[in-house]
Amino acid sequence: MVLSFKPLTTATWHDFESLLGAYEGCKGCWCMHWRLTFPDWKKQQGEGNRQAMKAYVDAGDVPGILAYAEGRPVAWCGCGPREWYPRLNKSQVAKPVDDQEVLSVNCFFVDRQARGNNIQLELLHEILRFAKQQGYRVVEGYPVEPGERRLDSSTSLVGLAKAFEEAGFHEVARRKEDRPIMRKEIQTG
C-alpha cells in the first residue's frame, strides 16, 4: 500500500471527519481522550468532542497526521506537545518521565480495510519527519505491548510497542507490565 500524509488542518478537516465519522468518531472520542478529564470527556462524548477537536483545528493547532491511500484517508495518528494532554500527567502509566519538552504520540486509528499493512510504522516515520520540521528534539509514545493476549481495536489505539521499536524508539520507563513509555531523539542538522 503506497501512502501519502497530510497534517490535520482546516484544509484536511473533512478527511479526518470522514475517516473517524465512519466509526462514530471512535466511540465518540474524536481524539479528545487525553485532552480532557474523564468526566468532561464523557459528558461531551460524541458531537461535543467532535466540535471541541474542530475548535482546536480552527484555532490553528495541528493535532496529528492523516495517512492516505489512493487519495482516500485510511489512518490517523494523534500527536502534539505534551502540554496539550493534561490527562497524561495524571495517568499512572503515562505521567511524565522528566521535564523534557516532547511531542506526544498518543492515538492511532486505521480504517478496517487498511489494517494489516504496517501503517502504524509508516505513520511513526512521518511523525518523526513532522517533529523535526516543528523543531522537536524528542518524540514520546505510550504504546501497548500485548504479549500473548489478543488486542481489540480500542486497546491498541495507543499504538503497538513493536511499531515504535521498528521506528527506532527505545523504552525510557515502564510503570505497567504491558505499557512502556518509548522515546526517539530527533537528529538535528
The cell numbers describing 124, all together, are 511513526
SS3 content of the chain, % helix, strand, coil (to 5): 40, 25, 40
What is the radius of gyration, based on Cα positions, of the chain?
Answer: 15
| Helix 13-21, helix 47-58: angle, nearest 10 | 160
Q: Using CA atoms, how far apart are residues 152 and 154, in angstroms rounded to an integer?
A: 6
pTM of the predicted model, to two decimals? Answer: 0.93
Q: Using CA atoms, how far apart are residues 83 and 104, in angstroms rounded to an integer?
A: 9
Q: Which residue numbers in the chain have pLDDT < 70? A: 148-156, 189
Q: Are 163 and 124 in contact (CB under 8 A)?
A: yes
Q: What is the pLDDT of residue 148?
A: 63
Q: Using CA atoms, how far apart are residues 161 and 180, in angstroms rounded to an integer?
A: 7
The model's pLDDT over 109-153, given as tens digits with 9 standing for 90+, comes to 999 888 888 899 999 999 999 999 999 999 999 999 877 655 554
DSSP annotation of 144 reads: B
Per-residue exposure over 145-173, b if at least 16 CB sit within 10 Å of its own CB, e if not: beeeeeeeeeebbbbbbebbbebebeeeb
Residue ranges per domain, the chain? 3-185
Q: What is the pLDDT of residue 22?
A: 84
Q: Cβ-count burial of 102 within 10 angstroms (0-12 exposed, 13-18 middle, 19+ buried)? A: buried
* Strand-strand pairing, 180-185 and 138-141: antiparallel
Which CATH class, in words, describes the domain spanning 3-185? alpha beta
Q: What is the pLDDT of residue 164?
A: 96
The cell numbers describing 3, all together, are 501512502
